[in-house]
């Protein structure tokens, strides 16, 4: 008989892999992608394609140059590309989208050590950098409905509540905004899929969205519009649940979600910018190590009170 394999236990492993998790995220993002094409036209497909392609190429080239192992197979670069595209206006010049994608992968992800090691969400950080660098094109919105001229958040920011789109339009995404963030219903389907597949837990989105809801009720700021506007839904389900950059315990997730909700509200209600979801997630990313430390589960050492 030839040699037998010897390894440390356990000798059975769950079927779940990193690649499988990322594939689930992509599946969950799919409905919003379809919605973006219906709402904003075929150009959204082009933007998504460019972002994904550049993310893949950046990862491939970076790892080649640094002689690191190729990690394309884990699909995380594809997820970053899709998420970044969903956070851009459909009219974004393609070279800007490409630059942003490169920034996300090379600067935010790979320079910090690649998958699992980055402290900030690549897509969110890239979006914020682009907002600063390309402030004009990043806030030039395309409107599915010819009559509008501002996003719901901008309208609320200016106090023009009467010109807001209908609830149905908000739910199905026929409003101004980034290409993947407008269709609430598609994002919710994706979010529920992620929870059902146990890729994420309900704690972060519930805490995040719940905080925004409660605060907008308290300050009487059109709660339903607050929930469906801007990037709240996509942020709460897809960005604030990123593994590497958010806490892993359930209390950590709750604290993280509440923090995101509060910062979002602060920026939306009293800041100078109509939207604050991206900033809130990035800020909370920075707090993550501290939240993790504070909410770390205590080993069951016994003794003392039980």
Partner 1 sequence: MKLSGIRVLHRKNTADSIPQKLPLPETVVIPMSMHIGKPAVPAVKTGERVTVGQVIGTADGFISAPVHSSVSGTVKKFIEITMANGSKTNAVVIDTDGLQEICPSVKPPVVKDFESFVNAVRASGVVGLGGAGFPTFVKLGVKDLSAVKAIIINAAECEPYITSDTRTMLDKADYIAKGIDLLQKYLVPNRIIIGIEDNKKTCIDKMNKVAHGKDNVEVKVLPSVYPQGGEKVLVYNTIGRIIPKGGLPLDVGAVVINCTTLASIAEYVETGMPLVEKCITVDGSAVKEPKNVIAPIGTPLEKLFDFCSGFKAEPKKVLYGGPMMGIAVPSLDLPVLKMTNAVIAMDENDAKLPKTTACINCGECVNHCPLRLDPRAIAKAYKLDMCEELKNLCADLCMECGCCAYVCPAKRHIVQTNKLAKAKLNKYIREQKDKKEG
Instruction: Choose which of 34, 64, 111, 117 interacts with partner 1 (CB under 8 A).
Output: 117
20 contacts partner 1 (rule: CB under 8 A): yes
In angstroms, the CA 274 to CA 263 distance is 13
Radius of gyration of the chain (CA): 20
- Smaller CB separation from partner 1, 11 or 67: 11
Q: Residue 66 Cβ, how far from partner 1 at the closest point, in Å?
A: 14
In angstroms, the CA 236 to CA 291 distance is 17
- Smaller CB separation from partner 1, 159 or 299: 299
Part in contact with partner 1 (CB under 8 A); list of ranges 55-63, 69-77, 184-192, 217-225? 69-77
132 contacts partner 1 (rule: CB under 8 A): no
71 contacts partner 1 (rule: CB under 8 A): yes
In angstroms, the CA 127 to CA 112 distance is 18
The pair of structure tokens assigned to 77 is 């670069």
In angstroms, the CA 112 to CA 79 distance is 18
- Smaller CB separation from partner 1, 9 or 272: 9
Q: Which residues contact 217 (CB under 8 A, 6 or more apart)?
A: 223
Part in contact with partner 1 (CB under 8 A); list of ranges 113-121, 122-130, 131-139, 146-154? 113-121
Part in contact with partner 1 (CB under 8 A); list of ranges 7-15, 49-57, 168-176, 269-277? 7-15
Classified as helix, coil or strand, 300 is coil
Instruction: Choose which of 114, 173, 205, 261 interacts with partner 1 (CB under 8 A).
Output: 114
65 contacts partner 1 (rule: CB under 8 A): no
In angstroms, the CA 27 to CA 39 distance is 19
298 contacts partner 1 (rule: CB under 8 A): yes
116 contacts partner 1 (rule: CB under 8 A): yes
In angstroms, the CA 219 to CA 240 distance is 24
The pair of structure tokens assigned to 74 is 């884990």
67 contacts partner 1 (rule: CB under 8 A): no
Footprint of partner 1 on residues 223-252 (CB under 8 A)? 243-244, 247-249
- Between the alpha carbon of residue 79 and those of residues 99, 105, 164, the distances in Å are 17, 11, 32
Q: Residue 265 Cβ, how far from partner 1 at the closest point, in Å?
A: 27
- Burial state string for 129-154 with b = 16 or more CB within 10 A and e = fewer than 16: bbbeebeeebeebebbeeebebbbbb
272 contacts partner 1 (rule: CB under 8 A): no
Instruction: Choose which of 53, 115, 188, 258 interacts with partner 1 (CB under 8 A).
Output: 115
Only one residue has tokens 């309900």, namely 202
- Binding residues for partner 1 (CB under 8 A): 1-2, 4-14, 16-18, 20-21, 71, 74, 76, 114-117, 243-244, 247-249, 296-303, 306
């Amino acid at each position: 008989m030839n040699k037998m394999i010897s390894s440390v236990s356990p000798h059975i492993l769950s079927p779940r892999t990193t690649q499988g998790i990322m594939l689930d995220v992509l599946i969950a993002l799919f409905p919003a992608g379809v919605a973006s094409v219906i709402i904003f036209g075929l150009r959204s497909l082009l933007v998504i394609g460019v972002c994904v392609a550049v993310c893949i190429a950046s990862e491939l080239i970076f790892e080649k140059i640094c002689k690191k192992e190729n990690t394309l197979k884990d699909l995380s670069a594809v997820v970053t590309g899709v998420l970044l595209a969903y956070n851009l206006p459909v009219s974004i010049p393609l070279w800007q989208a490409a630059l942003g994608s490169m920034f996300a992968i090379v600067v935010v992800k790979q320079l910090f050590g690649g998958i699992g090691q980055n402290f900030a969400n690549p897509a969110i950080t890239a979006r914020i950098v682009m907002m600063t660098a390309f402030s004009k094109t990043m806030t030039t919105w395309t409107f599915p409905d010819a009559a509008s001229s501002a996003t719901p958040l901008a309208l609320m920011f200016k106090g023009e509540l009467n010109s807001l789109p209908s609830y149905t339009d908000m739910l199905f995404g026929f409003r101004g905004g980034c290409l993947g963030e407008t269709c609430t219903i598609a994002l919710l389907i994706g979010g529920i899929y992620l929870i059902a597949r146990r890729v994420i837990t309900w704690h972060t989105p519930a805490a995040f969205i719940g905080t925004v809801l409660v605060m907008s009720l308290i300050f009487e700021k059109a709660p339903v519009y607050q929930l469906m506007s801007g990037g709240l839904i996509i942020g709460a389900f897809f960005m604030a649940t990123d593994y590497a950059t958010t806490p892993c315990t359930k209390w950590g997730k709750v604290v993280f979600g509440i923090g995101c909700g509060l910062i979002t509200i602060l920026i939306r209600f009293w800041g100078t910018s109509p939207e604050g979801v991206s900033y809130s997630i990035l800020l909370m990313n920075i707090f993550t190590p501290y939240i993790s430390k504070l909410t770390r589960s205590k080993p069951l050492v016994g003794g003392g009170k039980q």
